[in-house]
Amino acid sequence: MPKPDSQPFDPRLTPARADLAAAHLRAKVTAARYATPKLMQVCAPLTPLYAVADAASPLQTELLLGERFDVYEQNNGWVWGQSRRDGFVGYCRADDFCALTDAPDRRICALRTPIFADPDLKAPVRGFAHGNSVLYAETKEDRYIKIAGGLGWVFARHTIPLGEVAQDWVAIAQSYAHTPYVWGGRSSCGLDCSALVQNALEAGGIAALRDSDMQQGSLGKAVPVTTDLSGLRRGDLVFWKGHVGIMLDAQMFLHANAHHMCVAHEPLAEAVSRIQKTAGAITAIRRL
């Protein structure tokens, strides 16, 4: 693990185990062996990522269709590696990955959209692609785009060019209203508090790390936490230990939370009164 005189590392963001580590970490960590990665991509609509190679273990996050993943090990039906999107490290099912297609050129801009077997709205649905999934448009027929790699077809108007971003990322967060709360979830079928922030910011062209503590330490600038919670603006991020949400205006607050078990909005003062009983006081407010 960390070599003498080196800084402790975050295992969520560092591809290093006692028996295996990324070759570029050779000078920083001690491991039995080192490996260079094989870059692969997610070829399933959604794949879970775990801290250990066990689907019965707690979900850490999810990877979306088209995301790139540096694979350092493939063994017994699992791959272990690191996401190129946000740097998260863990184990995923090997069957959900494939060799690289051409570089993605489009992004799903709907919360979710059906993946059809053929370019026809009556065709069988093979699954659903979630917002922020990326794809290479192999061809277009009528109103549908064929996803490279043979997965199927999606409605073209539910995609946008990869470089195009939403002008109001908070509105994107609001579009997740009533989405179920799922610990570790990162899709329109279920997500947690930090995934709501990460997904909305990504749609707005702003990169964000996965977990709330990472976001608190890396996003925006600090805003004073006042006793009366005054002076807040739309888009301010409010943090507690293990929780984060988004201000819709000076008073209303949006968050994926286990109290409502969904993405919900409420007055910030009400949220503070309830959350402080279990998570303590607000730890930070950050303004992008």
Q: Which domains does the chain have, with CATH numbers?
A: 21-98 (2.30.30.40), 106-161 (2.30.30), 169-287 (3.90.1720.10)
pLDDT at 3: 62
Decide: helix, strand or coil at residue 94. Answer: helix
pLDDT at 1: 60
Q: Where are the alpha helices (DSSP H) in the chain?
A: 169-174, 193-203, 212-218, 268-279
As a whole-number percent, the residues of the chain with pLDDT over 70 amount to 98
pLDDT confidence tier of residue 7, bands split at 50, 70 and 90: low
Residues in a beta bridge with 93:
78
**Measured distance CA(107)–CA(57) in Å, rounded:** 30
Give me the chain's average pLDDT, please: 96
pLDDT confidence tier of residue 8, bands split at 50, 70 and 90: confident
Contact of 132 with 64, CB cutoff 8 Å: yes
